Structure 1
Amino acid sequence: MAGCSSNLDAYNHQGAEVAQARELFLTTDSIEPDRVRDSIRASWLRSRHWEVAAEGPRLTFVGDLDSENPVSRAAAPIVRQLGDQLVDQPISIILTDAEGVVLARRTGDRALEKHLDAVQLAPGFSYAERLVGTNGIGTALEGRSPAHVFGHEHYASNLENLACAGVPMHHPVTRKIIGVLDLTCWRPDAGPLLMAMARAAAAQIQESLLANEEHRDLALLRGKSSVMAWVGGPKARPVLPVGWFSACGWG
């Protein structure tokens, strides 16, 4: 299977222990540190603080999204190419904005796609941690770093048969988080390649964003290539824009 190893990683092997730890936390607020990763423990605590429904919340549809926003435009060819490589594989490629709202989703397996619809991991819905609890998208945004969440590590029980790897993406100039690239598959199929693929795709999208920014700046520069602005009528003469000498260090 492309991208998802049939050999479960260490966290999947510990699924029963994690499930017990989650049940204990939900009933007593107690967490045995050796059974749960620190990042998951911190996310569970935040999820409880936000009073996320442990059985799985019902989300509100945000609405139709602008498919021409910079993130979607930069990501479209990368998502399409990766989707072509993973065709017929039970892996979903999910793109979100900085609020965790799903902008696009491409899934190579009908059963997985149907399940993602059922848990509202679909375009127009937000998977922010404050709404859904621990998950690859929202937890990556909260932690501002890549997050992989397997099975019972999810706070909501309706996500426990999934595994996800989310990688935050940053604006190439401001470095602000502008979205997440997430890969989601069935929990038994999850392996270390899931995060590796997510990181690679996120990096490609950021490179595409940078190229788009450079192209935009070049277009602006060409539009202003003539420093001289012609003003007046038949006797027009070139004048330098206000502040030109200061900007060049001559004033």
Structure 2
Amino acid sequence: MVLSASDVERLAAVDTARAARVLREVRSARLAGQRAPVAPRPVIERSWERALRHGVDPEHGHRPGLLSEQEVRGRRESSELRHVLPLLREELLTVADAARHIMAVADADGRVLWREGSGPVLRRADALGFEVGADWSEEVVGTNGVGTPVVVREPVQVFASEHFARSQATWTCTGAPITDPRDGRLLGVVDVSGPLEMAHPATLAWVGSVAKLAEARLRERHLASLERLRAVAAVPLARLAGRALVVDRDGWTAAATGMPYVSRIGLPKSLAAGRRWLPQLGMCVVEPLAGGWLLRAAERAAEGGGTRIVLDLTRRRSWSVAVSGAMGSWSHELSPRHAELLCLLAVRRAGLSAAELAAEVFGDVGRTVTVRAEMSRVRRYLGGLLDHRPYRFCENAEVETLLPAEPGALLPHSTAPTLVDLRTGPGTP
């Protein structure tokens, strides 16, 4: 028998003590390597396994070290979550305080940056080390409502002994990730936590919906910033006769002239004013604007014509993609996931949808959000050399894939069926 989230919620709503007792028995049996009376929820069981691999002590737990006030202040000032903090307070804090809960907001590292709510509950949280500046990542404190959503990238409720550390078994914690709508990057987690006896079955849906509302507010802020940049650029663009783009610091387009509109182009991390080579535009004159850049293209290169892409997968742990064209060349080191995705696209030149990539990489067509987030990051440096719907290399680019001499050395971390076949049989992309 496997416990579902709704099973836990229903049992907790009827008899909190009994639900806690059942979960305590499940946890004890699993951690002892014995057969449990019922199976834990998959999201919880996988989290326990990760905590064990990280060496978290399930019996004594760990009181995480705190960031200094200066470090917390610096993280707060650089966090995009500061823009939605008033919304989170409005939607969560009033109800949480009345229900003897607290609200915590953590960054993508699991560091608690803000924490507010019921005074007595805050004092109980202090005793656990659930304080501002504390590290509540899974690898430090085990399964919890902050660290687990950071890993799985979806809302998670952790009830009673579903927590990995015994010290947290008198709590219920519900956290939901908040991602940057511009690129899918994880910004952090909003969490509502409180005493076990105050658990409510609607908390998971409530916290998850507020996190989505926060993402929508961030999207509105981004659109407003592009509108402001468009207004700033109106006069200089009107004076130009050639091809030009106005983009924000992340490459999102605010305005274009003399060329088709593209929503985003890839920018190097250290872009500076002057003549620069950009994959989608070729050689450009880069000029700073308030909140972005004016890019004046010297010659046409957006379609990838005359562009050569070399995907180097010859090494076991270090991979790269190199791009060369009429106006210059550049290369980029690849993460294991990006190497895997680009290799699949090199094999399937006709292209793959987000669902097809999810099935290839994760064995789960439902992981399209993760795929789109990763492909958004890839497009930041490959830009228009990658099409989407489906994802594929642009037709006019020459793509070469360099494989290791031993087929078994090709991306050994990957379990994608196509890449497994390449490792075990003849043939090249």
Partner of 2:110: 100
Q: TM-score, normalised by structure 1?
A: 0.83
Q: TM-score, normalised by structure 2?
A: 0.51
Q: CA deviation at 1:183?
A: 0.8
Asked if structure 2 preserves the Cα contact closer than 8 Å seen for 1:170 and 1:176, the reply is: yes
Gaps of 5+ in 1: 230-237
Partner of 2:259: 247
Partner of 1:235: none
Code of the residue aligned with 2:259 in structure 1: it is A
Say which of 167, 171, 174 aligns to 1:165: 174
Partner of 1:127: 136
Say which of 170, 184, 199 aligns to 1:175: 184
> Number of paired residues?
237
**Separation in structure 2 between the aligned mates of residue 104 and residue 206 of structure 1, nearest angstrom:** 18
Equivalences for residues 80-229 of structure 1 within 5 A: 80-81=89-90, 82-108=92-118, 110-228=119-237
**Separation in structure 2 between the aligned mates of residue 71 and residue 162 of structure 1, nearest angstrom:** 29
Provide the identity percentage: 23
Q: CA deviation at 1:71?
A: 2.9
Code of the residue aligned with 1:34 in structure 2: it is V
- In structure 2, the CA distance between the partners of 1:210 and 1:70, relative to structure 1 (3 Å rule), is farther
- In structure 2, the CA distance between the partners of 1:37 and 1:220, relative to structure 1 (3 Å rule), is same
Asked if structure 1 preserves the Cα contact closer than 8 Å seen for 2:25 and 2:36, the reply is: no
**Separation in structure 1 between the aligned mates of residue 62 and residue 47 of structure 2, nearest angstrom:** 16
Asked if structure 1 preserves the Cα contact closer than 8 Å seen for 2:172 and 2:193, the reply is: yes
Please, what is the CA RMSD of the aligned residues? 2.7
**Is 1:21 matched up with 2:31?**
no
**Is 1:43 matched up with 2:55?**
no
- Flag the structure with higher strand content: 2
**Separation in structure 1 between the aligned mates of residue 241 and residue 30 of structure 2, nearest angstrom:** 69
Cα deviation digits, residues 137-177 of structure 1 (max 9, x gap):
11112112111110111001111110011111111121222
- In structure 2, the CA distance between the partners of 1:151 and 1:87, relative to structure 1 (3 Å rule), is closer
Gaps of 5+ in 2: 1-8, 246-256, 262-298, 301-429
Partner of 1:52: 56
Give 1 or 2 for the bigger CA radius of gyration.
2
Asked if structure 2 preserves the Cα contact closer than 8 Å seen for 1:147 and 1:167, the reply is: yes
**Separation in structure 2 between the aligned mates of residue 179 and residue 189 of structure 1, nearest angstrom:** 25
Q: CA deviation at 1:215?
A: 1.7
**Separation in structure 2 between the aligned mates of residue 196 and residue 22 of structure 1, nearest angstrom:** 25
Say which of 78, 82, 85 aligns to 1:73: 82
Asked if structure 2 preserves the Cα contact closer than 8 Å seen for 1:227 and 1:240, the reply is: no
Cα deviation digits, residues 29-82 of structure 1 (max 9, x gap):
335272421211111111111011212112121333233334332222123213
3-state SS of the aligned residue for 1:134? coil
Code of the residue aligned with 1:21 in structure 2: it is V
